[in-house]
Structure 1
């Protein structure tokens, strides 16, 4: 039996998209603003085999706890705790080490990852914006479940902080994608041509990496 399917309309969606939330197992059908719900829902309900596979392939939670291994800029690194170290985490010899009390260790690791993500994504966004001759009013990071980045008409670009876990070339492909939206607020041929120009090559392999590893990236820092 197929679990309930949540229907969500997104103002920038151009086609329907079926996804499974790695954290909760929720099944979401995203539709363009005016797409009819009935036919789309019937199509989604017919994807039982795909839904079952996606639910079975959900990555187990990987809390930010001492002794765990996570991805950081595409490389596997260990997490360590040493009460004699400063509270602020640091990367040392393939490990991210944080001191201070054991209580709150997980929060300190995530805050550090978010801060590093914001710093790097802000710098890369500024670089691509300068190349493209556009302005970006603000760069922010959050933890959206279904998107790696978004660009508003106001010039605000938001990213998933989890991009700091992905390889740098994957992260930069996402930045090029969002900055290109400052010129083309659509996904037409001119938009994709600009993304390739900014990124320097076809970003399809990097986008495919994100799709293939999305559940794993969203498993890091989860407790249950």
Structure 2
């Protein structure tokens, strides 16, 4: 995949992907986060795809207007890290620095670099929570992986591998720890039976509030774009 911008105010990030099955250029705008993807035949030059996007600019911008809640991560934008709203502030710091109401970023930074920082922060939080609940359960997991999943916040495989969405770092801390407890509980109950939910409650406590938060507000964590 390649990434480009459609010029304008503001520029529109474009993702170009090739497909051996494609016979012509196709354009898709994600209903979830407004991501614009151009799929093009394997041998087609990228310049033709960009020309196609330019021809469709009015259509693209009209549809993106329906995604007005999408937040492009840039200086001045706000991120709910650990569920707490923080402004992105450019500073003379050499590293990303998390403060009470701000996150300081170096003069030369990118959304992708900030995403990597948040992934590592999420890994630390989730590993700590997973260790805590695994010890309480008396079971061990094999590994933790982080992904940018759209359909689930976590999973537990039959061999004890835990997977989490790194975007949980944008949720309130009790939501993140609930997901960790939920997946660790699967080490004992690989189902969603009454016994499983009893295990979640034994590990976490009253789990319904964070579970409801994910159902009603979890989708908002995907509105932040780190292009």
The reply to whether TM is greater than 0.5 is yes
Measure, in 1, the Cα distance between the counterparts of 2:221 and 2:70.
10
**Aligned with 2:204 (options 199, 202, 215):** 199
Q: How far does residue 155 in structure 1 lie from its aligned partner after superposition?
A: 0.9
Higher strand share: 2
**Aligned with 2:71 (options 59, 62, 76):** 62
Return the structure number with greater relative CO, CA threshold 8 A, min gap 6.
1
**Aligned with 1:216 (options 220, 223, 226):** 220
Alignment-derived partner of residue 74 in structure 1: 83
Verify the 8 A CA contact 1:110 1:221 in the aligned structure 2.
Answer: no
* Structure 1 stretches lacking a partner, 5+ long: 1-19, 26-55
Alignment-derived partner of residue 116 in structure 2: 111
Q: How far does residue 23 in structure 1 lie from its aligned partner after superposition?
A: 2.1
* Structure possessing the higher radius of gyration over alpha carbons: 2
| Residues paired across the two proteins, number | 169
SS at match of 1:85: coil
Measure, in 2, the Cα distance between the counterparts of 1:182 and 1:57.
42
Q: Deviations over 1:149-203 (max 9, x none)?
A: 00001111010001111111111111110000000000001000000000022x1
Verify the 8 A CA contact 2:34 2:67 in the aligned structure 1.
Answer: no
**Aligned with 2:166 (options 154, 161, 169):** 161
Verify the 8 A CA contact 1:121 1:175 in the aligned structure 2.
Answer: yes
* Structure 2 stretches lacking a partner, 5+ long: 1-29, 36-64
Question: Which stretches of structure 1, 4 residues or more, deviate above 4 A after TM superposition?
Answer: 56-59
The TM-score with structure 1 as length reference comes to 0.70
CA RMSD of aligned residues (A): 2.0
SS at match of 1:77: strand
Verify the 8 A CA contact 1:59 1:216 in the aligned structure 2.
Answer: no
Measure, in 2, the Cα distance between the counterparts of 1:96 and 1:67.
10
Measure, in 1, the Cα distance between the counterparts of 2:205 and 2:116.
32
